[in-house]
């Protein structure tokens, strides 16, 4: 089936619930009127369905091709043309800085575009997606000269960017990297080393590839405090000469086969320092946090496509009769959507997808407020929420995105397990999102081990003030009692970690994943209460009584009755401590 962008849900969420139209009153976003934002969303919906989606299956079937003699990678049929249409239409610079050729539109709008791209061709979306992170890193940390040299072409899409962190001997523990940067007489550096799993490290879509590379200078501390960041282009910008960075091969993956995942060899390649010496991790985290939010949208995008496919199948596939009696008297059987167990799977997909979209766009809106709100305290509050929720968006949306793709496959039954239907590709493509840019366990550790204690606990307190203010000042809000109980559970879990973690770090580490999930479910409950309350108000005022508003009432009830109760056992899991997790001794594992 052809992808249908969820425009009605996006309009309701952005303009009725989140009041994103207020962004037009902030100086950087004066052009982001509701009409402009809606037009952009509708155009990307069309573009995604007509240009990106048709290349998705061929990308999976063909994959990328590596030429070992030329060290070149050829992308699947149609990718190059689709990418050129993407950049010519200006999608690559949507929220990029205006002074370097970007459009300067709100980040929350970029989140919407990311979802649509990932719904229709996640593999192709990887190439401009990594460029976006490179743009942010250079804009935040690069010198004026580096910005002038690289940003205009990265923003236009003429060049693409990569993020080169991982090496064969180290993944998350970047203090173990061996790539070295030797100073040259002209102020540049010679980069020596090997990086693996580099998305878009080599391809034929753009005229140049700009690598952001972590490396260590001579005499630097042999830890993360000794890491510097360098920009290393495939072709040198001043003369177009080939730089000494080459693809050594492609990874063979279970999914996203149209995305070139490369081994990259730096053989004395010329590079330029980004930021200060030994300050590379801070600069790279600018890029990584961008990537983590984008990966969250990948999980949501694939889950949305899986829902659309499985819903269409369930409405058409005839199988057995409804337990309540025949619903399709003129046919030999009823469509499977009448069966409660199929409804259970479809409802879980629909309700979680809409809740995850709300969480993502709420976070995107905070990102915009953190840079554009005129009040310093409001900017700080928004930034606190972005920092706190970034690992939550990445982990929860990719966990549940993967789960929802699997549910979609289950709705199709045996058909879902065949390549005749797109569900199995969505399952394979989405599985990586739970792993890269820091596995979801790492995201949970970032939340518990770093974000909770940051600035004396200010970040999580900002969230609690927001949630408690809503509970205290909206007595007529829908499902308020259930939300209040969930907020209390999150507060109790936070206090337990704060009390037990400092004495025994393993206690906090063992609680990290259930704690992240508890936070995600609670914040989504807050957003579902807002969505359902807004829908009820619009229906009561007779302004509107559409199927969408009616569905919000039913969907919110499903969330609070069927999904939010999980927070109770998550709290019990956290408070039970580490003992059963860490209890087995070495010889007991294989007993």
Catalytic residues: 437
Residues 255 and 425: beta-carbon distance below 8 Å = yes
CB–CB of 113/256 below 8 Å?
Answer: no
Please state the φ and ψ torsions of residue 253, each to the nearest 5 degrees: -115, 160
Distance of CA 332 to the CA centre of its chain: 44
Beta partners for residue 228, in sequence order: 215
What's 456's DSSP letter?
A: G
**191 phi and psi angles, rounded to 5 deg:** -100, 125
Answer for the pair 146, 274: CB distance below 8 angstroms, yes or no: yes
Q: 430 to each of 97, 236, 256, 374, how far by Cα in Å?
A: 30, 35, 8, 39
DSSP single-letter state for residue 413: G
Answer for the pair 136, 68: CB distance below 8 angstroms, yes or no: no
Tell me the three-class secondary structure of 413-427, residue by residue. HHHHHCCCCCHHHHH
Q: Dihedral sign, CA of 116, 122, 128, 130?
A: positive
Locate the DSSP E strands across 151-207: 159-164, 180-183, 189-199
Distance CA 130, CA 292 (A): 11
Q: What is the CA radius of gyration of the chain?
A: 24
């Amino acid at each position: 089936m052809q992808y249908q962008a969820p425009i009605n849900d996006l309009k309701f969420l952005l303009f009725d619930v989140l009041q994103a139209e207020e962004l037009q009153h902030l100086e950087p976003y004066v052009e982001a009127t509701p009409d402009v934002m809606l037009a952009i969303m509708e155009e990307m919906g069309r573009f995604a369905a007509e240009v990106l989606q048709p290349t998705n299956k061929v990308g999976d079937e063909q994959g990328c091709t590596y030429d070992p003699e030329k060290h070149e990678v050829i992308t699947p049929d149609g990718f190059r043309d689709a990418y050129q249409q993407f950049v010519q239409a200006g999608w690559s610079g949507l929220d990029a800085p205006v002074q370097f050729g970007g459009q300067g539109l709100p980040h929350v709008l970029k989140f919407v575009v990311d979802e649509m791209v990932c719904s229709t061709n996640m593999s192709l979306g990887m190439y401009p997606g990594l460029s976006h992170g490179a743009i942010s890193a250079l804009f935040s940390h690069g010198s004026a000269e580096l910005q002038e040299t690289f940003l205009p072409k990265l923003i236009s899409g003429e060049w693409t960017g990569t993020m080169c962190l991982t090496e064969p001997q180290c993944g998350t523990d970047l203090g173990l990297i061996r790539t070295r940067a030797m100073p040259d007489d002209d102020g540049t550096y010679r980069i020596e080393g090997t990086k693996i799993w580099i998305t878009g490290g080599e391809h034929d879509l753009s005229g140049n590839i700009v690598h952001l590379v972590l490396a260590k200078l001579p005499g630097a501390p042999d830890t993360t405090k000794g890491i510097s960041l360098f920009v290393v282009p495939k072709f040198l910008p001043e003369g177009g000469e080939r730089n000494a960075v080459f693809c050594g091969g492609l990874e063979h993956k279970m999914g996203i086969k149209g995305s070139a995942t490369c081994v990259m060899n730096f053989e004395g390649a010329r590079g330029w320092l980004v930021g200060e010496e030994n300050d590379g991790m801070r600069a790279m985290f600018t890029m990584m946090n961008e990537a983590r939010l984008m990966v969250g949208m990948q999980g949501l995008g694939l889950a949305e496509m899986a829902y659309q496919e499985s819903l269409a199948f369930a409405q058409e596939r005839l199988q057995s009769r409804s337990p309540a009696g025949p619903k399709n008297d003129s046919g030999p059987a009823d469509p499977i959507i009448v069966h409660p167990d199929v409804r259970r799977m479809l409802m879980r997909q629909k309700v979680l997808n809409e809740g995850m979209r709300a969480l993502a766009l709420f976070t995107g809106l905070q990102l915009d407020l953190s840079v554009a709100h005129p009040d310093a305290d409001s900017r700080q509050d928004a930034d606190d929420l972005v920092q706190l929720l970034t690992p939550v968006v990445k982990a929860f949306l990719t966990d549940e995105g993967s789960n929802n793709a699997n549910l979609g496959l289950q709705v199709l039954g045996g058909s879902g397990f065949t390549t005749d239907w797109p569900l199995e590709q969505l399952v394979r493509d989405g599985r990586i999102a739970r792993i890269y840019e820091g596995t979801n366990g790492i995201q949970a550790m970032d939340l518990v081990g770093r974000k909770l204690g940051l600035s004396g606990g200010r970040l999580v307190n900002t969230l609690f003030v927001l949630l408690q203010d809503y509970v205290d000042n909206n007595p007529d809000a829908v499902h308020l009692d259930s939300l209040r109980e969930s907020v209390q559970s999150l507060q109790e879990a936070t206090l337990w970690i704060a009390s037990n973690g400092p004495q025994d770090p393993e206690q906090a580490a063992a609680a990290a994943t259930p704690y992240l999930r508890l936070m995600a479910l609670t914040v989504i409950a807050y957003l579902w209460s807002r969505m359902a309350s807004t829908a009820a108000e619009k229906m009561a005022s007779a302004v509107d009584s559409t199927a969408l508003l009616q569905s919000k009432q039913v969907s919110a009830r499903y969330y609070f009755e069927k999904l939010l109760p999980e927070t109770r056992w998550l709290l019990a899991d956290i408070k039970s401590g580490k003992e059963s997790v860490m209890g087995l001794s070495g010889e007991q594992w294989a007993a």
